Amino acid sequence: MKKIIAMLLLAALLLTGVSALAEGKTIVYWTMWESTEPQGQVIKEAVAAYEAESGNTVDLQFKGRTGMREGLQPALDAGTVIDLFDEDMDRVNVSWVDYLLDIEEMAKAANYEETANAGLIGAAREITGGTLKSIPYQPFVFAFFYNIDIFNEAGIEAPPATWDELLEACEKIKAAGYVPITSDDAYIITNLGYHMARLIGEEGVRRVVDNGEWAEEPAVLKAAEAYADLAEKGYLSPTIASSVWPTNQNGEFAMGESAIYLNGSWLPNEVKEMTGPDFNWGCFSYPAVEGGIHGVEAANFGSQVLAINKDSQVAQEAFDLIVKLTKGEFDAKLSIESVGIPADANNTEWPAMLASAKSVMDNLSVRYSWAAGIENNINMTAYIKQAFQQLCGGQLSPEQFVETLENASN
């Protein structure tokens, strides 16, 4: 009897071993997307294709943005097996840098950079002190998106490249019966960040925000005067001071009542159900301002990135999966389905809705971080937002705006 039991156990062990070999390795992948989002859908397809080709298994877990931001690091600290994860480029390479595997050699061996976006790879490498620890995908650019049909109807021949040209365009749009510029509470502060960065660069913006130099830095008043001027001339949405995202994005802009909205290149995807396929998308970089140090060549651009846990036992397999996700067929599919920018340089065709963003992206040489640093001080963002909304709504003068923020920072 004992012999029979021993034989059975041995057979079971052998079977388990054989099946494990047959199943290959398992890669645990935590993603920031939801399974219902276009990105999630394409990732699912790419994972299925990878599994079929490699014989490996991917434990794909859709965590969403909040799940990643709240849960990834505690899970890693608790020893949860997570081989691969993705999130925003800055968050991964700054907040979670201690958990990242250096993938420089793997990228070299795969000749990865030959067909990668050099600017984004450079940005990812720069954040981690010159070593590649993440692979960018789903690139984005933050710029003024506009409704080409409204521009055409207003007789605007070319998108504005300078502030004066923007004022001219706004006048024509207003005359044509549209609201020239709109925004929501979630993004309105980026207008101020960009304007100040045009004048004094991102370093200057960070200095003002971090050190509370609102009254000391003349660029603050200049930027405030520029937006007070827009408000006074009626170029800003009458509800700009109270609009809670996505009210104006979905209402005024997507419905074709307003012409211009400063936002990321994810905007067409977010509103495509409202705009329909006939919406003519345009994009132009934040215009150069008089006496500024940056022009249309500077903007916030970035991407999501994929990174491998330094303790992963399946690092090479995880890297192969990254290649599957970010090159060729599935990068193109991700771009089409999510109306996003492709990461693979060989995928030269951008979605039609983002065609005009390509020229903006191609002309960028200076990278700002998010909102050019205007949200760099967690204790000031709410004050800046409220004061700027009131400035745009005509409730604060430029001088009062500066005074309000100077007082708030003390």
Partner 1 sequence: MKLNRTMVVVFLTPALLLFFAIFVYPIARTVVMSLFSVENVTSSMNEWTFTGLKNYRDLVQTSLFRQSMWNIFRIWLVGGLVVMSFALLFAVILNSGIRFKRFFRAVIYLPNIISAVALATMWLQYVYAPRWGFLTNLFSWLGLEGLAATQWTAAGNKFWALTFAYCFGMVGYHMLIFSSGIEKIPHEFYEASSIDGASKPRQFTQITLPLLKGVIKTNITMWTITSVGFFVWSQLFSTVTTDLDTITPMVYLYLQVFSTGNTVMTREAGLGAAVGVTLGLCVVLIFVLTNLFIRDDELEY
Residues binding partner 1 (CB under 8 A):
66, 69-70, 73-74, 77-78, 88, 90-91, 94-95, 185-187, 189, 239, 241-245, 247, 251, 369-371, 373, 375-376, 378-383, 385-386, 389-390, 393, 395, 408
CB of 377 to partner 1, least distance (A): 8
CB of 109 to partner 1, least distance (A): 30
Our CB check for partner 1 shows the closer of 317 and 375 to be 375
> What is the full DSSP assignment across 14-56?
HHHHHHHHHH--EEEEEESS-TTSHHHHHHHHHHHHHHHHH--
214 is written with which tokens? Answer: 């609102």
CB of 113 to partner 1, least distance (A): 25
Our CB check for partner 1 shows the closer of 383 and 403 to be 383
Our CB check for partner 1 shows the closer of 185 and 331 to be 185
Q: Please name which of 227, 229, 203 lies closest in space to residue 217, comparing C-alpha atoms.
A: 203
> What is the full DSSP assignment across 102-155?
P-HHHHHHTTGGGGB-HHHHHHHHHHTTTS---EEEEEEEEEEEEEHHHHHHHT
Residue 297's CB is within 10 A of a number of other CB atoms, namely 12
Q: Please name which of 345, 384, 296 lies closest in space to residue 119, comparing C-alpha atoms.
A: 345
Our CB check for partner 1 shows the closer of 263 and 335 to be 263
Amino acid at 319: F
- Give the total residue count for the chain: 410
CB of 78 to partner 1, least distance (A): 7
Our CB check for partner 1 shows the closer of 187 and 319 to be 187
For 229-244, give one letter per residue: b (16+ CB within 10 A) or e.
ebbeeebbbebbbebe
Our CB check for partner 1 shows the closer of 350 and 368 to be 368
**How far is the CA of 251 from the CAs of 243, 255, 272, 278, in angstroms?**
10, 6, 13, 17
Our CB check for partner 1 shows the closer of 295 and 393 to be 393
Our CB check for partner 1 shows the closer of 36 and 379 to be 379
**How far is the CA of 276 from the CAs of 142, 143, 146, 255, in angstroms?**
22, 21, 15, 10
CB of 5 to partner 1, least distance (A): 36
Question: How many CA atoms, within 13 angstroms, populate the side-chain half-sphere of residue 146?
Answer: 29
CB of 266 to partner 1, least distance (A): 13
Q: Please name which of 322, 256, 244 lies closest in space to residue 54, comparing C-alpha atoms.
A: 322
CB of 406 to partner 1, least distance (A): 12
Spatial separation of the C-alpha atoms in residues 42 and 32, rounded to whole Å? 13
363 is written with which tokens? Answer: 């002309």
CB 305 within 8 A of CB 135: yes
**How far is the CA of 168 from the CAs of 156, 173, 188, 291, 406, in angstroms?**
9, 9, 21, 19, 32
361 is written with which tokens? Answer: 């992206």
CB of 141 to partner 1, least distance (A): 15
CB of 94 to partner 1, least distance (A): 5
Spatial separation of the C-alpha atoms in residues 109 and 38, rounded to whole Å? 31
CB of 410 to partner 1, least distance (A): 9
Pairing verdict, β 179-182 and 84-88: unpaired
Our CB check for partner 1 shows the closer of 302 and 342 to be 302
CB of 295 to partner 1, least distance (A): 24
